[in-house]
Amino acid sequence: MEQHTIPPYYNQNSEIIILGSFPSLKSRAAGFYYAHPQNRFWRVLKKVYNTEFRDDIESKKAFLKKYKIALFDVCAACVITKSSDASIKQIIPNDIKQIISKTNIKKIYINGKTAAKIYDKYLKKDINIEVIYLPSTSSANAKFSLDDLVNEYKVLNLK
């Protein structure tokens, strides 16, 4: 059983939260979300918000804070083989409600089908906030090009 070791990223001004499934091995080693260089998450957000920032954690946090974005995952613990979402089982869900109670979160965005299934099964019934399901930014989701992902993720920046 692997434990989720990265704290949720949010502050009291966060208005949206993006939920993934469980951190990859690279993300767990780095101590922050979407650290695998092949994951397109940060490239997508740079294009969606038409901005640039360095690839270090502090720059990413400054970007998230500026755009009122929180990050977390649906799994607090699970059995997982390497970084494969398809292998996730024996799920213990994260407590998303504790973040929502401390923020201004008005929408929840789910990154990928595995996170969506886990959210729907374990968390959705207790949270009364609009949920938008998005395709995974993982390189394993070869069906979506970078441009396709940017088009899907543009909903993040609609005000």
* pLDDT grade for 1, boundaries at 50, 70 and 90: very high
Reported as a single tens digit per residue, the pLDDT across 69-85 is: 999 999 999 999 988 88
Whether the pLDDT of residue 127 is over 70: the answer is: yes
Q: How far apart are CA 45 and CA 115, in angstroms?
A: 19
More confident residue, 49 or 140: 49
Cα–Cα dist 134/74, whole Å: 14
Q: Is 2-153 CATH 3.40.470.10?
A: yes
Q: Residue 92's pLDDT is what?
A: 97
Band of the pLDDT at 159, cuts 50, 70, 90? low
Q: Supply the Cα-derived Rg of the chain in whole angstroms.
A: 14
* Rounded percentage of the chain residues whose pLDDT exceeds 70: 99
> Do residues 44 and 146 touch, judged by C-beta distance below 8 A?
yes
Q: What average pLDDT score do residues 132-140 get?
A: 95
Q: Which of 86, 90, 144, 140 is nearest to 115 (CA)?
A: 86
> 139 near 114, Cβ under 8 Å?
no
